[in-house]
Amino acid sequence: MLILASTSPYRRQLLERLRLPFRCLAPGTDERALCGERPADLAGRLAAAKAAAIALAHPQAWVIGSDQCAELDGHVLGKPGNRPAAIAQLQAMSGRTVDFHTAVCLRRGDQVLAAADLTRVRLRPLEPAAIERYLDAEQPYDCAGSFKCEGLGIALFEAIDSTDPTALIGLPLIALAGLLRATGHAVP
């Protein structure tokens, strides 16, 4: 049995690409950063915590936990939640490079495998009208960084530097496929 420790529709859609049967369960993990915790460490800790929370109740299942943190100037950019916060995030990122730390953890009982990805996104300079038009079109209020790179958000960028394009959406499938193969899953 394979379980995705997430209710994110984005992660579910990504995992469906691997054509393995799985189910989704909410891990109920507290996602607040610890005092002084670096964004990359936060992503790794939360991915592991999500997998552990579900693995505890399902010891025979392989559980996938994943988390992503956007970082600008050493600070975590969370999900904006609303339009004013999204405007503020996009204005802050305009013409700058933002790091996205994405971690994945695969766990069954005491067996734990993990991987991480760093994706750098360089946004073009964004005029206020462009930000408004984008938010009117896509409302990415549930996405770290206030954009959906798999949608119209791609028009906000000058470049993406990544070894795994799915990591920016929230689940690094290249790394995950390797972890799954290492545990005996038949991934094409």
The residues annotated as belonging to the active site are 67
Other beta carbons within 10 angstroms of residue 172's beta carbon come to 27
List the helix and strand counts (H, then E) for the chain: 5, 7
Q: Six-digit token pair at 32?
A: 């607040």
Would you mind telling me the total number of residues written for the chain in this entry?
Answer: 188
What percentage of the chain's residues is helix, strand, coil (to nearest 5)? 35, 25, 40
Which runs of consecutive H residues, i.e. helices, occur in 18-118?
39-57, 83-93
Q: CA-to-CA distance for 52 and 63, rounded, in angstroms?
A: 8
